[in-house]
Chains A and B, each alone.
Chain A
Amino acid sequence: GENVGLHLPTLSVQEGDNSIINCAYSNSASDYFIWYKQESGKGPQFIIDIRSNMDKRQGQRVTVLLNKTVKHLSLQIAATQPGDSAVYFCAENSPTGRRALTFGSGTRLQVQP
């Protein structure tokens, strides 16, 4: 869901389970998408990106899925570890208009040991 005020959507998973974090993006013209991980008090770190000519891209323990029809992006984390606990943001960029990433509101992932 979308964040309202101070309350980020939170996903709580058990260590070793797979996690799926979802994001709805707003601009149908966007052709580049990124997932970032942000730990408390730090700057966002790049996880994985995908361009609009792809539906799926895999990295190490992470997979990003893109559904352009419904403007939906998801991040799958395999075998979730305590170190994965953080806030995850999706970001989009469009080839038209301004050339800067637009961020979603974020999801907090809590991994229970």
Chain B
Amino acid sequence: DGGITQSPKYLFRKEGQNVTLSCEQNLNHDAMYWYRQDPGQGLRLIYYSQIVNDFQKGDIAEGYSVSREKKESFPLTVTSAQKNPTAFYLCASSIPGGEPNTEAFFGQGTRLTVV
């Protein structure tokens, strides 16, 4: 069935390492998003992509990078430049197309911990 798959569910990273979080969707959605969530807080936008081969910075892009080579995939790399990467990362997708305002569907998240 259709949905958004994030992997892994839990990820541990040593300081100074880059790690890549996977996000795949089979909903045929054009737009994809990455959000970060810290304990007891709301979601903050890291990067978003409205179409393949294009993406834009969100509010907290520093220390992160993304690619959008395929419609179905929007991986997020947390680089060593991100000073406080421990958080819950959520990927979402939606249909922007001619419908600018539609709900975003979320994956189940990846919890990243720096050890």
Q: A: which residues have CB within 8 A of B?
A: 3, 5-8, 31-32, 34, 36, 41-46, 49, 51, 89, 91, 93, 95, 98-106
Contacts and interface: CB of A to CB of B under 8 A. Distances in A.
Contact of A32 (B101, B106, B109, B111): B101
A104 B96 contact: no
Interface in B63-102: 90, 92, 96, 100-101
A100 B106 contact: no
A102 to B, nearest CB: 7
Contacts of B60: none
A98 B56 contact: yes
Identify the 7 closest CB pairs spanning chains A and B, nearest first. A32-B101, A43-B106, A6-B40, A103-B43, A105-B42, A103-B42, A100-B48
Nearest to A101: B104
A49 B103 contact: yes
A98 to B, nearest CB: 7
Nearest to A102: B45
B25 interface: no
B63 to A, nearest CB: 19
B33 A51 contact: no
B33 A100 contact: yes
Given A95-B100, A98-B45, 15 more contacts: A3-B40, A3-B41, A6-B39, A8-B40, A8-B41, A32-B101, A34-B104, A41-B111, A43-B4, A43-B92, A43-B108, A89-B43, A98-B58, A99-B96, A100-B58
Contacts of A49: 103
B106 A44 contact: yes
Contacts of B108: 42-43
Contacts of B33: 100-101
A46 B105 contact: yes
B104 A106 contact: no
A99 B48 contact: yes
A42 B6 CA distance: 11
A4 to B, nearest CB: 9
